[in-house]
Structure 1
């Protein structure tokens, strides 16, 4: 996913969804679809995670929002005015096992557990050809975009098994075949493998494991930056190559919207998708990744 934080490259972008908009329903809503369902969402303070929470809150779900930013608590407070379900929030560093454990414990304390876990955290930090990545940068990318999901799923799974079932939705990326972000691509390839392999292992325990693979997505400027952003003409050129490839690989020749990303995630999380597991659904305007 590429977000509109990089407005100096993208030019004029829609401002997208801000905290003041959360009381307004999304343009597409299935009323009551998540009534009685508790949903844990990571990366929920902004971007796709916030759009997912927005949709589920307006479909009567109980939501537990997790992010590394303290902003997540203000978002949760706003959602208390929206949903007839419960609302809770926690900050956690999901690049660590301890952070993932604390997230699950906090969700149990707030909502007495969860039925669905949606793991959104991840994203490219740097954009450049692979030979220009320092070893420490490669490790940082893998921690951000693979270990956040790996640790989260490992922490979430026992709760779902113990209660007799549930659903895990991971957010991957079609950038597994993208340019200038090899460590991120490798990380998201790992998320795809995790999803497919765990689906086989978890199905006998009545746990579904699925994923979406977003393409480029328009989003407001981030509250917490992923990385330093491109500096200098060469780095801007490398990042522009990502933008160009993303648009060209879409049959619609455009970026997607937050609602277009949230809709398939929320469908896969719902009981309507009860016979789907192990699948990774590309959501990139025809780019299959």
Structure 2
């Protein structure tokens, strides 16, 4: 299968987890990818797994200045993009009564302002007829007590997808969002500090999934690559939930 033959895709937050799995899937199908991330260890690992010459760039999605630097680097090293996957983000949780402005600002700057600025600065790099994908989360629908700010930040991705899809429709650029459920990545390593709390949260979440397990990054990547490919040529403004049935009605 070579759905991405001759195509160039940029994936923010593409050096680990779902982002990296999607990048590898695209490469397997003939595409060229660029990825960004913050962790040097993840950047090094992605550099080993991706083809030589791939753009592997350190970039902090929460930084307005680094958003401009990313746009300049993409223009210089990749040129026109056939696809843009705005996947960079992070999760953290606090109970009601424990929130502070630093927590709120960091979450919103990374998960909301980052994709917004990246879209603004990179939209002209996307070829007419291309595709954009944003990463939301089922946290937007679950109403978990400690997930108010994280869920709100991710709910905005579905709103962005619908709004951007209207704005870019005249150029035949499709924009969609994908909402993963519990996936086997390093998400909980960064989102929850306490090991006992992490174990309890993991088991509680698993018990809510009808398929009885966490998903794999590659399973989300399969849906992401579909939405970025021409196979989804009549899909725009939509959100695809990949959660093992966790939020089924």
Is TM more than 0.5 here? yes
Q: How does 1:232-251 map to 2 (within 5 A)?
A: 236-237=196-197, 239=198, 242-251=201-210
**Residues 181 and 40 of structure 1, relative CA distance in 2, 3 Å threshold:** same
**Residues 221 and 240 of structure 1, relative CA distance in 2, 3 Å threshold:** closer
Q: Is the 8 A contact 2:14 2:37 kept in 1?
A: yes
1:187 aligns with 2:132: no
Q: Is the 8 A contact 2:209 2:244 kept in 1?
A: yes
Q: How does 1:14-163 map to 2 (within 5 A)?
A: 31-70=1-40, 71-80=42-51, 87-125=54-92, 127-160=93-126, 163=127
1:287 aligns with 2:243: no
1:217 aligns with 2:183: yes
What SS does the corresponding residue of 2:221 show, helix, strand or coil? helix
Superposed displacement of residue 158, structure 1: 2.2
The CA distance in 1 between the partners of 2:223 and 2:49, in whole Å, is: 24
Query: Which position in structure 2 is the counterpart of 1:252?
Result: 211
Query: Which position in structure 2 is the counterpart of 1:166?
Result: 130
Superposed displacement of residue 54, structure 1: 0.9
The CA distance in 2 between the partners of 1:167 and 1:257, in whole Å, is: 24
Superposed displacement of residue 249, structure 1: 3.2
What SS does the corresponding residue of 1:164 show, helix, strand or coil? strand
What SS does the corresponding residue of 1:169 show, helix, strand or coil? strand
**Residues 144 and 103 of structure 1, relative CA distance in 2, 3 Å threshold:** same
User: What runs of 5+ residues in structure 2 fail to find an aligned partner?
Assistant: none
Superposed displacement of residue 38, structure 1: 0.2
1:5-55 deviation digits (Å, cap 9, x = unpaired): xxxxxxxxxxxxxxxxxxxxxxxxxx2111000000111111111111111
The CA distance in 2 between the partners of 1:283 and 1:187, in whole Å, is: 18
**Residues 286 and 144 of structure 1, relative CA distance in 2, 3 Å threshold:** same
**Residues 220 and 226 of structure 1, relative CA distance in 2, 3 Å threshold:** closer
> What is the TM-score when the length of structure 2 is the normalising length?
0.89
User: What runs of 5+ residues in structure 1 fail to find an aligned partner?
Assistant: 1-30
1:134-171 deviation digits (Å, cap 9, x = unpaired): 222122221222222222222221222xx434211111
The CA distance in 1 between the partners of 2:75 and 2:100, in whole Å, is: 39
The CA distance in 2 between the partners of 1:75 and 1:87, in whole Å, is: 10
Q: How does 1:271-286 map to 2 (within 5 A)?
A: 271-286=230-245
Query: Which position in structure 2 is the counterpart of 1:203?
Result: 169
1:268 aligns with 2:238: no
**Residues 87 and 254 of structure 1, relative CA distance in 2, 3 Å threshold:** same
